[in-house]
Amino acid sequence: MSPKQSAPSSLSPKQSLGPPDFATAFLIASFVARHAFAPVLLFGQNAEIIDQGASACAVDAVIYVVIHHFSCCFISFMYACYYRRKFRLQYGLKASPCPDFCAHCFCHYCALCQEHRELKNLGYLMTIGWNANVERRAQQGVTLMAPVVETGMHR
């Protein structure tokens, strides 16, 4: 390459690194805000789905914040551990490679993310809440819970 030739730029003449448009700025701001409060939102969303709509995301998130920030962190680990165990029992998941308490005690935020990801893998849209998931699944003709199997023989 001669000195007069420059390396090709990855930006076309129409692209720039200037300020983003409104939609892009909004997406960036929502991304930053969501991740700044991720543990609170993750816990609230997880708890709403695990409770099958019996409690709202906002209520669970507020309880989590109060326990976590104004009390001993150990208590918030126990609170989150309760939901992890409830989730495992609902879906028949094993507590491996370590017990629920250890997962939350030694890597609390990772455990919340893992639960969140597992719920998403089960087909839940975490941002819309339990009631909207029920409606969405009803429109698709899918049930949200495993069928109850009766034991024993009946005539």
Domain span at 96: 36-140
**Could you tell me if residue 25 is inside a domain?**
no
**Could you tell me if residue 70 is inside a domain?**
yes
The confidence score (pLDDT) of residue 17 equals: 41
**Could you tell me if residue 3 is inside a domain?**
no
- Residue range 132-150, pLDDT digits in tens: 999 988 888 776 555 455 5
The four Cα atoms 65, 69, 71, 73 give a dihedral, to 10 degrees, of 90
Q: How many domains is the chain built from?
A: 1
Q: Which of 129, 4, 110 is nearest to 59 (CA)?
A: 129
Q: Which of 107, 77, 64 is nearest to 56 (CA)?
A: 64
- Residue range 6-59, pLDDT digits in tens: 444 443 444 334 445 666 666 666 655 555 556 788 889 999 999 998 989 889
**Could you tell me if residue 135 is inside a domain?**
yes
pTM score:
0.66
**Could you tell me if residue 76 is inside a domain?**
yes
**Could you tell me if residue 6 is inside a domain?**
no
**Could you tell me if residue 67 is inside a domain?**
yes
**Could you tell me if residue 13 is inside a domain?**
no
The whole-number average pLDDT for the span 93-100 is 81
CA separation for the pair 127, 48 (Å, rounded): 11
